[in-house]
Amino acid sequence: MSQITVVGGKPLKGRVDLKGAKNLVTKAMVAALLGESTSVLKDVPRISDVDVVQRLLQLHGVQIDFAEDGTMSLDPSGVKSARMVDIDAHAGSSRIPILFCGPLLHQLGEAFIPGLGGCDIGGRPLDFHFDVLRSFGAVIEKLPNGTRLSAPNGMHGAKISLPYPSVGATEQVLLTAVRAEGKTELSGAAIEPEIMDLIAILQKMGAIISVDADRVIRIEGVSRMVGYQHRALFDRNEAASWAAAALATNGDIFVGGARQPEMTTFLNVFRKVGGAFQIEDDGIRFWHPGGTLNSVVIETDVHPGFMTDWQQPLVVALTQAQGMSIIHETVYENRFGFTDALNQMGAQIQLYRECLGGTSCRFGQRNYFHSAVISGPTKLKGADIRVPDLRGGFSHMVAALAAEGVSNVTNVQLISRGYENFLQKLTDLGAEFTYTE
């Protein structure tokens, strides 16, 4: 198990450059399955979620070339069924395989999906995905080691309403509806920027998709699609992570490739907390301007709300803010597990089952510790901690870098699921650490 020994207390200063968003790139790679010709995706990061999807696509006969500069070409002309045992080897490694269903059903008439992985931040059920696929005509058979799908009568457009604007389920609809026969109307859709970028890709491939007001997306199925050429949307989650790291460590970080429009909600909160930022043409500079940080009340939400993936690194900065901050997590029921380690380091974070912060959410009456109260400022001290999940792990690293003294952080390889060249970036920012594989 990999371990980092961090000497904390030094401000992170310098520049990091972003590539494409993890939560877009992996889906764009799956979309390439729908075309008849080669797709070219630019700014693909070297992260383990990309590796898993690459290997699964290759097992299905897609020829992939991944150049040093992050340009990936995907040729689906030889697409074929993969052996169940080979697919199964990837069980538990990612959540993206569930999105292979629609494209494989269109291309091959069948699909086998391994057991899914991803961060342990709640139950993460797949009911919306399977309901969506059934609406299009898929027949789903659960096996001990995965799920087999077929479409004996073809795939047909459908009228679908999601009970919650799920990102993954919206992508499932898009990737299936574009080649289903007839029209699909999706209400209750997620409209995250990564979804809009996926829609742009699908349109380049020949799809007909319109996004109406009030979370309604309409798709007219087409019988053939071609490859696309696309530069992936930047990773706004990574941008927010480094911004929070700058604030928590009293630092100053220029995040190359970050853009304002997709981050306005984050930037408002960053400013209210007391962080400074400057928008440039090629990125955003984030820094701690000195003085006291302010406590805030935040509710995580679907876009255009404050993203759930932004809260964990920001919590570390909030341990340094004056007063009581409240975070009400309304997207995942169990996303505060990472706060145990922060408390061990000296933070004062208390979790509550109640919906604190103003509105009630679907987790309110269900016994989940989904609200956090952070009292500050508190001094953080180095500790021995274990990375629990991707974003929680990043926040542990930020806490270790901000803390006085030495921290030993284990299970660090998990962070490479979503952050390219993480250790190199830390070095570039002047962090003091040693790494053992």
Sign of torsion over alpha carbons 342, 348, 351, 356: negative
Q: Of the two residues 65 and 127, which places its CB atom closer to ligand EPU in the complex?
A: 127
Q: What are the Cα distances from residue 305, in Å, to 47, 249, 300, 436?
A: 26, 26, 6, 39
How far apart are alpha carbons 248 and 417 in whole angstroms? 23
Residues with active-site annotation: 119
Radius of gyration of the chain (CA): 22
Smallest distance from the beta carbon of 418 to ligand EPU, in angstroms?
A: 6
How far apart are alpha carbons 84 and 233 in whole angstroms? 33
- Residue 397 has a CB neighbour count (10 Å cut-off) of 26
| Pairing mode of beta strands 371-376, 348-352 | antiparallel
CA trace torsion 295, 166, 100, 198 (10° rounding) = -70
Q: Of the two residues 320 and 339, which places its CB atom closer to ligand EPU in the complex?
A: 339
Specify the length of the chain in residues.
437
Q: Of the two residues 38 and 237, which places its CB atom closer to ligand EPU in the complex?
A: 237
Q: Of the two residues 321 and 331, which places its CB atom closer to ligand EPU in the complex?
A: 331
Six-digit token string for 337: 């597990």
How far apart are alpha carbons 85 and 104 in whole angstroms? 17
How far apart are alpha carbons 18 and 419 in whole angstroms? 9
> Which residue number has the CB closest to ligand EPU?
168
Q: Of the two residues 123 and 289, which places its CB atom closer to ligand EPU in the complex?
A: 123
Q: What are the Cα distances from residue 59, in Å, to 88, 366, 405?
A: 11, 41, 47
Q: Of the two residues 90 and 129, which places its CB atom closer to ligand EPU in the complex?
A: 129
Query: If 0-12 CB within 10 Å is exposed, 13-18 middle and 19+ buried, where does residue 92 land?
Result: exposed
Q: Of the two residues 235 and 252, which places its CB atom closer to ligand EPU in the complex?
A: 235
Q: What residues have CB less than 8 Å from 150, skipping those under 6 apart? A: 105, 109, 110, 111, 138, 139, 141
Q: What residues have CB less than 8 Å from 242, skipping those under 6 apart? A: 16, 253, 255, 286, 425
Smallest distance from the beta carbon of 189 to ligand EPU, in angstroms?
A: 11
Which parts of this chain interact with ligand EPU (CB under 6 A)? Answer: 22-23, 95, 119, 122-129, 164, 166-169, 190, 237, 307-309, 331-332, 390-391, 418
